[in-house]
Structure 1
């Protein structure tokens, strides 16, 4: 059995991505971490794991969906973006 077919590999990858999100905050790795853990759980219960493209497609879809849901729930922090009202080259 290949490594990508084992659920624990996906769960460990999700935990590593979650730790990476805590070390390098940027709200990027959290969606990937959730996607990896969910795919690991789906492999453990026997839904996925035999077909690599389908597994990667479901991982990508769950990652994007979880990122969008978290972004919607958490929102954008105040002061996260700077809006410029004038250019420094204007005289």
Structure 2
């Protein structure tokens, strides 16, 4: 079926990446990376299994990618930037 074809996972990852560009916020980027990694592992014949196993690998890869992105990009605390001084202040 479609879940065992490697290029389907990579195309899905790129489509999710496009969704991330349209709706930024580092929400879909982890899923995109997880789908591409799953496609690469399928393409290299490292993964062989049914849909439940592949979706589990996809979920784990997405979780690892999301945690790595959070560590590198940082967590937004409060989402508000406070300015102490104006650019025109001398």
Bucket of the pairwise TM-score, normalised by the shorter protein: 0.7 to 0.9
The 5-angstrom pairing of residues 50-61 of structure 1 reads 50-61=49-60
The 5-angstrom pairing of residues 3-14 of structure 1 reads 3-14=2-13
Stretches of structure 1 lacking an aligned partner (at least 5 in a row): 83-91
Q: Does 1:75 align with 2:68?
A: no
Aligned partner of 1:41 in structure 2 is 40
| Partner Cα distance (2:17, 2:55) in 1 | 19
Instruction: Tell me the CA shift for residue 53 of structure 1.
Output: 1.2
Runs of 4+ in 1 over 2 A off after TM superposition: 76-79
Instruction: Tell me the CA shift for residue 26 of structure 1.
Output: 1.7
Structure 1 window deviating more from structure 2 (63-72 vs 48-57): it is 48-57
Name the Cα RMSD after superposition: 1.8
Stretches of structure 2 lacking an aligned partner (at least 5 in a row): 82-90
TM-score, reference length from structure 2: 0.82
| Partner Cα distance (2:34, 2:80) in 1 | 27
Count matched residues. 81
Instruction: Tell me the CA shift for residue 50 of structure 1.
Output: 2.8
Aligned partner of 1:24 in structure 2 is 23
